[in-house]
Chains A and B, each alone.
Chain A
């Protein structure tokens, strides 16, 4: 009887249009955010921050962006990795070429640049759809891979092709310890998740979903497909670009184009599919799954092997990871094509009826 909406009557439309219409949901999420800001820094150790929490936050942000495009607007992309790269390199170039540009501004400008390019790479979506579009976005991926590798200007002619950023600080706050990096990323994620939620419940979000669900009908009621699709590309790219810039600046510190390869693109798509297409919450679930799974396998497999007296080599672990990871993806797609977010929703539904299921 704890999780109930009974008795929570909405007397105004404003109340009915809240992000969380059920009070318990609201308190749960607020509690979670408070815990992330206060509890986690007290509990987690440095390894946790570096290996799990920071990647999780940044990839969640990128997954949110991918989900806006793929899950909400129905435009499939295999070029998300490239958009992360654009964000990272654009922010890098703003940093080194514009005197005294603040960190946050550089990151956001990185996002804005990505948004602009996202619109350009989104143009094929006006003509082609589905798998053809997926391949068109791969073109963006390979073009960016090449450009950042071969065109020296982007990397400021660094001889090794790798670029680096150090001494991060924002508003007089030096961001160097893992905890600070974590908090910095968390701030971004919370803000962007809030934007994403707002967009998806507003008119623009409905336009995206309409295009996704039935594009002819959408056009017939007055939605301009060009506007809807390109705005989805722009917003999504903005998110992904900022995530890419954070990935380069905060997580990696120094990076090469390989950090944003096509594998990253696939990985991001996995996140939103496993997490749940068209679900904000799902983006987080998916990112958590993809970040934690390899680490878990890495630890668990050798341990399991030694239990049975088999020594598993590093290569063996890597191969086993491939197998398990691949099988899990297939398994998920078969068992719950709507992703972890759906499981979550079902669990909540159950809880709502508990302890008196009708």
Chain B
């Protein structure tokens, strides 16, 4: 990999998150550098998804600070995080199941569409022009993910692996700076995993998108990530390049203990 890894883009400091009595995250700090592939790993229930939810504003941590491009971030709602360029895919597919593949991905362009509702009602010049312009962009993504043949299919009818791909497509349509991927390869067969890896690396390569990846498949993680952070029971127990993490005794213990 010959990408140039840049400065710290997102810096999380002492994040703690509780749900009633459940401590989902305890005093976690790590940073994410521009253009890198940053993996978060850990046993089930370790707090990985919660971490992503904190980053894109779905959960609000009780303690801790988040710096985005050097500036401290206020408490924010998910849609604000989205407008600062943070996109996300979901562990349990969260597609808009009543809509076609095309419409799902088009929805990802929403933040970039500006014509007002009146023009849309009349389907007048600017509204139509905008629609076509974004359609072009979306078609590029469809080509990139090799899902041309299903673009008009309602997503509910697609097999699991393709749904995951559409989920990625929808996030890509936002042209994000940081892309959070929550177990994008869970439940896939080897071939599908290879495809997905290729897409992720291509996105990272071609668009320079910073990627935060949660994944259980260690082989994949060690292969494609630049740095790895390890969580266990809501605490950080390891952080570093794959080789470092692999030889970290605490990490080994957590994984053996959890039966992996």
Interface set, chain B 118-139, CB cutoff 8 A to A:
120-123, 127-128, 130-132, 135-136, 139
B120 pairs with A221, CB closer than 8 A = no
Interface set, chain B 39-60, CB cutoff 8 A to A:
56, 58
Complex interface bits, A183-220 against B, C-beta within 8 A gives 1, otherwise 0: 00000000000010011001111110110111011111
Residues of A within 8 A of B110 (CB): 203, 206-207, 210, 221-223
Closest chain A CB from B164 CB (angstroms): 14
* B94 within 8 Å of A (CB atoms): yes
* B171 within 8 Å of A (CB atoms): yes
Residues of A within 8 A of B253 (CB): none
Residues of B within 8 A of A210 (CB): 96, 99, 107, 110
B56 pairs with A220, CB closer than 8 A = yes
* Stretch touching chain A among B13-21, B66-74, B81-89, B240-248: B81-89
Report the count of interface residues on A (CB-CB < 8 A). 32
Interface set, chain B 200-233, CB cutoff 8 A to A:
none
A317 to B96, CA, bound (A): 45
Report the count of interface residues on B (CB-CB < 8 A). 42
Residues of B within 8 A of A198 (CB): 120-123
Residues of A within 8 A of B131 (CB): 17, 202-203
* A171 within 8 Å of B (CB atoms): no
* A13 within 8 Å of B (CB atoms): yes
Residues of A within 8 A of B37 (CB): none
Give me the 6 closest cross-chain CB pairs, A-B, nearest first.
A222-B82, A217-B94, A213-B96, A202-B120, A222-B111, A219-B78
Known: A203-B131, A209-B99, A216-B94. 15 other contacts (CB 8 A): A13-B135, A14-B128, A14-B132, A202-B120, A203-B106, A203-B109, A206-B103, A207-B110, A210-B110, A214-B97, A216-B78, A219-B82, A222-B111, A223-B110, A278-B98
Q: Which residues in B have some Cβ–Cβ distance to A below 8 Å?
A: 56, 58, 77-79, 81-83, 87-88, 90, 94-99, 103, 106-111, 113, 115, 117, 120-123, 127-128, 130-132, 135-136, 139, 170-171, 174
